Chains A and B, each alone.
Chain A
Amino acid sequence: MSESRGIGSGPAGLTQAGARPAGAGGAAPTIVFNGTSMPMPDPPTLCALLDAQGLGAARIATAVNGEFVPRTGRASKRLEDGDKVLTFEAIVGG
């Protein structure tokens, strides 16, 4: 039984997969990383994004638009404009 039970403390965001804000014409592509909008990394891969955030070697799990992306797939996972990326870490739980 985890303290992450209950509203607001669970893995919110997983159900919002696929919701991509429409970008303005000509605007630089962006992604949403853990709720924060930021420019598309270069190269536009999940691996590059995590490296840019200092999380390349971190013990975390990742999901893009609500879909799990295994560690082995991060280098080849190409990000698209408006993609939502979430990272998860281990916590205590019941």
Chain B
Amino acid sequence: MGTIVDAVGTAVSAGTKQSAGEQGAGARIDDSPLTIGGVALRSRFMIGTARYPSPQVLAKAIEASGAEVVTMGLKRQLADGAASANDFFAMIRSLGVRVLPNTAGCRTAREAVTLAQMARELFETSWIKLEVIGDEYTLQPDTVELVEAASQLARDGFEVLPYCTDDLVACRRLLDAGCRVLMPWGAPIGSGQGLLNPWALRTLRARLPEVALVVDAGLGAPSHAAQAMELGYDAVLLNTAVAQARDPVAMARAFRLAIEAGRLGYLGGIIERQDMAVASTPVPGQPFTL
């Protein structure tokens, strides 16, 4: 499937960032890949693997999304030790994507660190989506435990991608702890509300211009993802918005296009908002009044 940029006559290729305006209308817009932990990613869409109607739909949705990074989790086995019937990891690996394990369900730094260590062995990757939840209703991160866990894991050689709030100071603590990527929430997990605090997200982008920022959680519509990318965010991570859509495969494609469109919009240079009208047509006054 061609990218949206192909459809409008421009192209996206690896290279230095340069706006179309600098090159002239209709010129190529070059966009460098998103690099995380030395890995260059062409797709700025990261997708979760939970809550799909079936493994088959999951596989098709991942393909439609174009995502190169998918999240997975770990769970404690049943008392009888029997393994789950579905070997999801094998299926995901067969798709040729990179797995980003998470520490979902952890409430303390100690739990998260232990789970991350198990994830590193199980999934054979040092990448970890660090989640340390502080409230059962909002599922928002416990910032204190999150920073502590990030610090320990970074020292242990993990590439830590923390699921965090949009608090600037908390984000700086995570960077000090060794994180090179931040994943602030758009809204509570699975809520589909979109970007609840665009001002805070915009502030993070402005104050942390060199940090890879990924909006994670709470998106519902493709327009939400486009909005995040238009703010200059480097990628989007979502799960429920696709998995629980009426047609997850179609929705995955919709999000893919929205993320590409938002990225192009950001690189193209969105006009400034004006409080009053600014005429587009350059007519000198009223046409029939001499």
Our verdict on whether A and B bind, yes or no, reads yes
| B81 with A55: CB separation less than 8 A | yes
Whether, in the assembled complex, B165 has its beta carbon less than 8 Å from a beta carbon of chain A, the answer is no
| B81 with A94: CB separation less than 8 A | no
| A61 with B118: CB separation less than 8 A | yes
| B136 with A93: CB separation less than 8 A | no
| A15 with B84: CB separation less than 8 A | no
| B76 with A11: CB separation less than 8 A | yes
Total chain B interface residues with beta-carbon distance under 8 A: 50
| B106 with A10: CB separation less than 8 A | yes
| B122 with A61: CB separation less than 8 A | yes
Whether, in the assembled complex, B217 has its beta carbon less than 8 Å from a beta carbon of chain A, the answer is yes
| B111 with A91: CB separation less than 8 A | no
Find chain B residues with CB under 8 A from A71 CB.
121
| A5 with B77: CB separation less than 8 A | no
Find chain B residues with CB under 8 A from A93 CB.
48-50, 71-74, 101-102, 104
Tell me the chain B residues, 165-186 only, with Cβ under 8 Å from chain A.
Answer: none
| B84 with A1: CB separation less than 8 A | no
Tell me the chain A residues, 8-38 only, with Cβ under 8 Å from chain B.
Answer: 9-15, 33-36
Whether, in the assembled complex, B89 has its beta carbon less than 8 Å from a beta carbon of chain A, the answer is yes
User: With A5-B139, A94-B48 given, is the CB distance from A36 to B79 under 8 Å?
Assistant: yes
Whether, in the assembled complex, B7 has its beta carbon less than 8 Å from a beta carbon of chain A, the answer is no
Give 10 A-B contacts (CB < 8 Å), ordered by A residue. Answer: A1-B50, A2-B105, A7-B136, A10-B104, A14-B115, A34-B80, A90-B72, A90-B88, A93-B104, A94-B240
